[in-house]
Structure 1
Amino acid sequence: MNLGTASLKSERFDDAGPRFAGHPVVFDYSGALVFPALSLLVVSDLHLERGAAHARRGFFVPPYDTTRQLACLSAVIARYRPARVVSLGDSFHDRVGAREMADDHRAALSALATGLDWVWINGNHDPDGVFGLPGRVFDEWTCEGLTFRHEPSRGGKAEVCGHLHPSATLSRPGKSVRRPCFATDENRLILPAFATTRGGLDLRHKAFSGLFDRTTLTVHMLGPDRVYALPFVALAR
């Protein structure tokens, strides 16, 4: 994927690199966000137990989604070794997913959280929190001037959120590329769905109306092994 823009090898942290609300940030190609100075890693919209949720409704898909997602989560935690992890809601695909998940998956997720301050944010898919897992549960959580919530609010400041699964389309002569992305201006940072949960809404969709100052909006598009940063105004119209 060559977008003709500066690319960010997301494992590296440069103090002169991107910031949000005064804090240095790293945008990882998995869809995870890292605040290195806070030893804080953020993920959104894991949608664990998606296959099981579909099966409960009579739609059968290969039951490997949770295994793959936990492997990706384990890898990004090992890469950055944070002290704290925040999951920004829709961690499970439905409100019974945490309670019904298989014992081996529960054990794997509990092992990941061992020794970490794990914060679960309630989402619209999982409004009842988590069941039998380590960590603290909030509808909204604040830390070092940052507000972490699932759905973006219209008047929020220094807000880190998910829910909308943002994506961006960049056109070049003869082709266009659409990828999940981080989207951020001075007031708000929206994460893409993490790792194996892909797709989502294009940033020009009406759901994003009023959430960003589009003159300062920066897009961080996910590639297979790196992140590509470009201004919103450079995207396809």
Structure 2
Amino acid sequence: MKAHDFNISGMRLQARGAGALYWPERRLLCVSDLHLGKSERRARLQGATLPPYETQDTLSRLDAELAAVEPEIVVCLGDSFDDAEAALSLSDQEKIWITRMQAGRRWVWIEGNHDPGPVDLGGTHLSELPIGPLTFRHIAQKGASGEVSGHYHPKARLTAKGRSITRPCFLIDDERVILPAFGTYTGGMHCDEPPLSTLMGAEATAVLTGPFPAPIPMPR
């Protein structure tokens, strides 16, 4: 999977085509908004059904990213679970899968608005994580610098030769990067909508996910 290199606060980061962020200097892999258990929560609260394979699909793609870059640190940037009960409802196989991925590395669960408290799945639970000049948190803060966040599930539309495609995307400016949602069935917010259009600087870039990550000026 190819990646787009960029810099924030003097640090070289990589926006990977799968939707994960990699910091080579620290061997740190970051993903946001896994929303594990979304289909279970939908069925429980709304009676609506989604194909019941989203958790396995999300874990499989995360496992592939771990194999690709072999990080020492993994940061899950909030909303890792669709709610607290969804975390408890994971199957034994899924819990063992997560435990296996955690083995031999530091694993940090950042609190999100869907999962504000710790879950009993190993790792460390923090409201935010400062490392060097960067701070990892779930929701972007106005005026922040060196910030890595998620929450908004940004997506962008690219039109060329009469064809239009919409993909999840990273949003990057001089002060921050907002990650796309990594989870299956997570939807998204177009980057020309507020608050994304007001959070990001005028020079912001959108990096569309996919086999060949495509940086474009952030649509306004």
Tell me whether the two structures share a fold, i.e. TM-score over 0.5: yes
Listed as ranges, the gaps of 5+ residues in structure 1 are: 1-7
Is 2:7 the partner of 1:9? no
**Number of residue pairs the alignment of both structures matches:** 219
Q: Distance in 1 between matches of 2:155 and 2:51?
A: 25
Determine helix, strand or coil for the equivalent of 2:84: coil
Segments ≥4 residues shifted beyond 6 Å? none
Unaligned runs of 5+ in 2: none
Question: How do residues 52-67 of structure 1 correspond to structure 2 at under 5 angstroms?
Answer: 52-57=40-45, 58-67=47-56
8 Å CA contact retained: 1:121, 1:129: no
Corresponding position: 1:218 with 2:205 = yes
Identify the range of structure 1 (37-46 vs 17-26) with the bigger mean alpha-carbon deviation: 17-26
Shift of 1:222: 1.1
Cα distance in structure 2, aligned partners of 1:135 and 1:179? 31
Is 1:19 aligned to residue 7 of structure 2?
yes
Cα distance in 2 between the residues matched to 1:209 and 1:122: 24
| 2:84 counterpart residue number | 95
Between 149-158 and 40-49, report the one with greater CA deviation: 149-158
2:132 corresponds in structure 1 to 144
User: Are 1:30 and 1:195, in contact at CA under 8 Å, matched by a contact in 2?
Assistant: no
- Residue 5 of structure 1 is matched in structure 2 by none
**1:122-162 C-alpha deviation (Å, 9 max, x unpaired):** 111111122x2121101111111111111111121111000
2:112 is equivalent to residue 123 of structure 1: yes
Q: Choose from 134, 153, 174 the match for 2:162.
A: 174
| Kept after mapping to 1: 8 A contact 2:55/2:184 | no
* One-letter amino acid of the counterpart of residue 43, structure 2: A
Q: Distance in 2 between matches of 1:26 and 1:143?
A: 16
SS of the counterpart of 2:17? Answer: coil
TM-superposed deviation, 1:196: 2.6
Q: Tell me the CA shift for residue 195 of structure 1.
A: 5.1
After superposition, what is the alpha-carbon deviation per residue over 1:62-107, rounded to whole angstroms, capped at 9, x for unaligned?
2111111110010000000000000000000112222221111001
SS at match of 1:52: helix
Q: Counterparts of 1:25 and 1:102 in 2: how far apart (Å)?
A: 34
Q: How far does residue 210 in structure 1 lie from its aligned partner after superposition?
A: 2.6
Q: Give me the identity figure in percent.
A: 39
User: 1:197: Cα distance to partner?
Assistant: 4.0
After superposition, the CA RMSD in angstroms is: 1.6
Tell me the equivalent position of 2:34: 46
Partner letter of residue 227 of structure 1?
P
Shift of the 91–195 alpha-carbon distance from structure 1 to 2, 3 Å rule, reads: closer
C-alpha displacement of 1:226:
2.1
- The match for 1:229 among 208, 215, 219 is 215
Alpha-carbon distance, 1:173 to partner:
3.8
Equivalent residues of 1:121, 1:140 under 8 A apart: yes
